Amino acid sequence: MAGAPDLLFALRNNFYIGAFQAAINSGDVQNLSEEDAIERDCLVYRSYIALGSYQLVINEIDSSAATPLQAVKLLASYLLSADNKETVISSIREWLSDAAIGNNPILRLIAGIIFMHEQDYNEALKYTHAGGTMELTALNVQVFLKMNRSDYAEKQLRVMQQIDEDHTLTQLATAWLNLAVGGSKIQEAYLIFQDFSEKYQMTSLILNGKAVCCMHMGNYDEAESFLLEALNKDAKDPETIANLVVCSLHLGKPTSRFLSQLKLSHPEHMLIKRGSTAEESFDRAVQTV
């Protein structure tokens, strides 16, 4: 219906900026169409996943739930335990090859997220490249940046800008691309995160964005203050801890506590898996936002 209010705007926006508990709290939206109710539930359950409540999601989504919710349940299983990875990937491939459900945008999005976790970027793009939603196109931007193809990322960003230049995901994708391009674009990325911090609830995602911009500009003291604030909000966030490792290295401060914390909470994190010199850590960490 033209001109109808977007009843899921607050929920969606909180999810995009990383305000996951606020997203859950704003999920009590009634009088929705069936399609919107499924989107609401997917966003709420994905917020629980972002907070690490994988088992809750697995327990609450039963086998009769709609395909998008089943896909979200698969993501929770994938992240719950490395032992589940093969089964989940096998299931998601089977569902994607099913003509009846294979083109579902949430299923394709979850597939893209899982294959991005696997660092199998070509496989992720196989399911996401056709786009169709702002989230899918934003994920394409992220995947191309991981592949160091900022030229392709920029084409995807242009698609988003044509749809809605002011959309939160368009702004986020612009900041990601600006960080990848570097130079004078870093200041533009910083201003986007600064604008978010003035308009919305301050989150680890926003604080990490500002911190990474500061690190790119050589302002490590300021970056550290943003990261410590982020750590206060979420003591287990892997990107905050990884960025603190990098920041501490550049400030000549010990990193062992943060590395130990990361190893315990996220042994699969790239800083832990690959080992790290100061330069390698910095190069990797500034690509994570």
pLDDT of residue 35: 94
Alpha carbon of 94 to those of 71, 104, 112, 185: distances in Å?
12, 13, 15, 42
Residue 288 has pLDDT above 70, yes or no: no
Which tens digit of pLDDT belongs to each residue from 220-236? Answer: 999 999 999 999 998 88
Q: Which helix (H) or strand (E) holds 135?
A: helix 134-146
pLDDT of residue 92: 96
Choice between 21 and 276, residue whose per-residue pLDDT is larger: 21
Question: Which residues in 218-255 are b (16+ Cβ under 10 Å) and which e?
Answer: eebebbbbbbeebbebbeebbbbbbbbbbbbbbeeeeb
Residue 276 has pLDDT above 60, yes or no: no
Question: Which residues in 158-169 are b (16+ Cβ under 10 Å) and which e?
Answer: eebeeeeeebbb
Q: Which helix (H) or strand (E) holds 85?
A: helix 85-96
What pTM was computed for the model?
0.89
Least confident of 18-22, 208-212, 261-265: 261-265
